[in-house]
Amino acid sequence: MAARTVDKNYLAITWDHTAVHIIDGLLAHIKGLGIKADLYPPGSNGDDNYADGTKKVCIALVETKYLGLPGPTAGLVIDKFGSANHDLVGKAGLRGCNPEGEESSREITAKNKPEVLCLRSWKEDVEKGLMPTTLEEAIKIFDAWYFTEFLDPTIIAPGKEELYKTRYRAAERVRGEIVDFLNNNRIRRKRAIEIELLIMSRAKLDHED
């Protein structure tokens, strides 16, 4: 098997209270695979804001990917539906994977090379409604993400490799452009506010005179 295009042997991991039924077993499974992991559990003070944990994971990965610092190279974030974490991961300029199950986890990984698995602790059953994701299901989804290679030939049709490489490069470019756009406009907005406050303060002084 070809070397992974994303090194998943050093993970940053976080979860919220909705994952209590699977997290211990999943962490034991990850340890059994010999994977190194930095853990960012819910706050010990009772604060259970999934966003704070995901922020820590994203910062750790960004420091490794963009700043070249030693640290985790991939991540696992768990909340009830995965979509909120997936959104935060994208805003950090990282590639996320929010699969519904084992097969979609495998296909998304083969086509998109995601760095972060945004795992759902709950799923929707057609007959039963919302149900907790079982440990067995969580492990299968994780393994599909961990073991599947980018452009896996058992998933990607012959002759389609360049198509997905082109899509991947385009997504990386656009992702970076969006992050730069947001950052630049935040800076511009901050400067505009500072100028407005300065003008207001001067106008107040002139009025007092």
Residue spans per domain, the chain: 10-147, 157-209
Rounded distance, CA 33 to CA 87, Å? 28
Whole-angstrom CA distances from 87 to 40, 94, 100, 208 are 19, 10, 16, 49
Q: Which CATH architecture does the domain made up of 10-147 adopt?
A: 3-Layer(aba) Sandwich (3.40)
Residue 15, H or E segment: strand 10-15
The pLDDT assigned to 135 comes to 97
**Cβ-count burial 139-151 (b if 16+ within 10 Å, e if not):** bbbbebbbebbbb
Rounded distance, CA 109 to CA 99, Å? 10
For the chain (length 209 residues), average pLDDT per consecutive 10? Answer: 68 94 97 96 66 91 86 95 88 89 92 92 90 96 93 75 76 72 71 65 54
Contact 64, 72 (CB under 8 A): yes
Q: What is the pTM assigned to this prediction?
A: 0.78
